[in-house]
A and B are shown apart, each in its own frame.
Chain A
Amino acid sequence: MAIGVKVLPRPDKGVSYVRATLKGMALTFRHLFQPRYTMQYPEQRSTDDWRISTRWRGTHRMLTDEQGRSKCVACGLCPQICPANCIKLVPGEDEHGNRFPLIYEIDEFRCVFCGYCQEVCPEEAIHVGVHYENSEYSRSRFVYDHERLTAQTHPVSTLWDPADPKGE
């Protein structure tokens, strides 16, 4: 029984080695004088050619109303839809019957940044943000509480719109 050795059909006749080498070297040499594409990151965060997409789904932000109160009404939809189960919500109710989150925490380490919480939110309160610098000195700092989520100021993601797939 023959052992099945897969042999790729590579060209053998008409191949060149010396000329191909010289061609390759000429190509790399031309690259020496071409413009550099490196972006000097901490100093330079966007160029004319490139900026971070408005559809970027980064760490969350809770929006507030005109009085500076969180828009969240603790309806419970976001923990329900969250595929990573990273949102912890304990609802509360004040004397007028308005619901508000007693505890609202997002574990950003568990989060898969799918953006479902933003899509499902009836009050447009929780959003994923256009933000990517998240270093902290301890792991516990990655559980964002309600206060911290409201305090974020970075722009929020526009998410993907089926009517406008290219984001124009």
Chain B
Amino acid sequence: MTPELKGFIFFSVIRLLVIFTGLLVSVAMLTLVERKFAGWFQNRTGPNRVGPWGLLQPAADGLKNILKEETRPGGANQTLFVLAPALSFTPALCLLAVIPLAAPLPVSVDWNLPLIGRIVYDGLMPMSITELPIGFLFVLALSSMGVYGVAIAGWSSNSKYSLLGGLRASAQMISYEVALGLSLIPVLLMTGNVGFSEIIQRQQDGLWFVAPLFLSFFLFLVSGFAETNRLPFDLPEAESELVAGYHAEYSAMKFSMFYIAEYAHIITVSAMITSLFFGGWDIPFTDWDEQGGLLQTIATHLAFFAKTFFWIFFVIWIRWTLPRFRYDQLMALGWKVMLPVALTYVMLMATALWFIDAIAPDASTLMQALMLTGLNLVFGAIFFAVLDRGRVVRGTSARPVPTTVHPEA
């Protein structure tokens, strides 16, 4: 094994350990953050008993869940019942692997380490576990895997509530996945690439994609909520109807794993929004962060963290504000609003990009972004004006009520 290969493997393993541990700790802390914000939104204090300000609450919860008795429903399909939490948990944790968390760090080392031997690394080290060329396609593909965990959990539990929850979850996730995927096509059109580094690079040159691709951002945000099964789209676990939905029969650590998956999804969706629409690790109004160096890497990491945390906060904020959709409203929103709007938007953006290219072939990235921003202001205004009138997602009373079911009888 050459020293270069050893260096590559060595630093990959280190990144893997650091990012994975960081993700798991963040997930644990996120349960506390969510409960704290839940309290603050309701003029309460939130958990504050375990450790200072309740900071050890996740550890206490984890310990409790590990020590709790595990119940298995009698008629359950045991194999799938055990497999389902893992199927939901593993893809959720893998999602973050491709998202760059900071500016790449220039590294030049030639070390002689005990046991390993000589390692050499020379060049820019990406601040993600791996820099896959397929970029966000990887995230889309893996997040689709999450639906298996939920559907199998619902089916294998041998419980009507679980089954209904699982059915709802699979229908919902598949419906919104279409809009989720389509909402990212304008990003691909703008960048010409699906890799996160290229997308972030493009946003540094021009504007953050939230401005030139505003509707993409909105569609992605809404579909992202549906994909994470969070309120207002948490029909799979609608407590009032389905006990706890697909994980009603789970207990102890298996139950916990569904929660870890949910919170990992929240982190991933927030990190995706940050990377795709808010410049990733980019610090706005300065070129200093692109020069490369340890300080820049730390600063950009903090910028990324701050942006991601804002979106995590936003997810929590929405959860404690909006009520749950009714099921037909959810489906109507997915198929009658999200999908057509996403399709139309892809066409409009493609045309706009082609048009800008035709009339101003040598416009800079920034100019192009500014022109698209103007266009998006118009589209956004129309879209929100129509959505606001509630012609699609509306109450039952708006629909004609059949006066007779069997008129001939």
Contact = CB atoms under 8 A, between A and B. Distances in A.
Interface in B26-74: 37, 39-45, 48
A24 to B, nearest CB: 5
A47 interface: no
Nearest to B402: A2
A141 to B, nearest CB: 27
Interface string B383-402: 01001111001111110011
Given A9-B397, A12-B398, A16-B388, A3 B405 contact: yes
B240 interface: no
Given A2-B403, A36-B44, A12 B321 contact: no
A9 B41 CA distance: 31
A121 B348 CA distance: 85
B404 interface: yes
Contacts of B40: 31-32, 36
Nearest to A9: B397
Interface string B318-342: 1011100000000000000000000
A17 B45 contact: no
A34 B43 contact: yes
Q: Is the interface of B mostly helix, strand, loop or mixed?
A: loop
B317 interface: yes
A18 B384 CA distance: 7
A35 B317 contact: no
A17 B390 contact: yes
B388 A17 contact: yes
Contacts of A5: 401
Given A12-B394, A28-B320, A37 B44 contact: yes
A1 interface: yes
B397 A38 contact: no
B378 interface: no
A83 to B, nearest CB: 36
A69 to B, nearest CB: 45
B317 A25 contact: yes
Interface in A30-45: 31-32, 34-38, 40
Interface of B: 37, 39-45, 48, 317-318, 320-322, 384, 387-390, 393-398, 401-406, 409
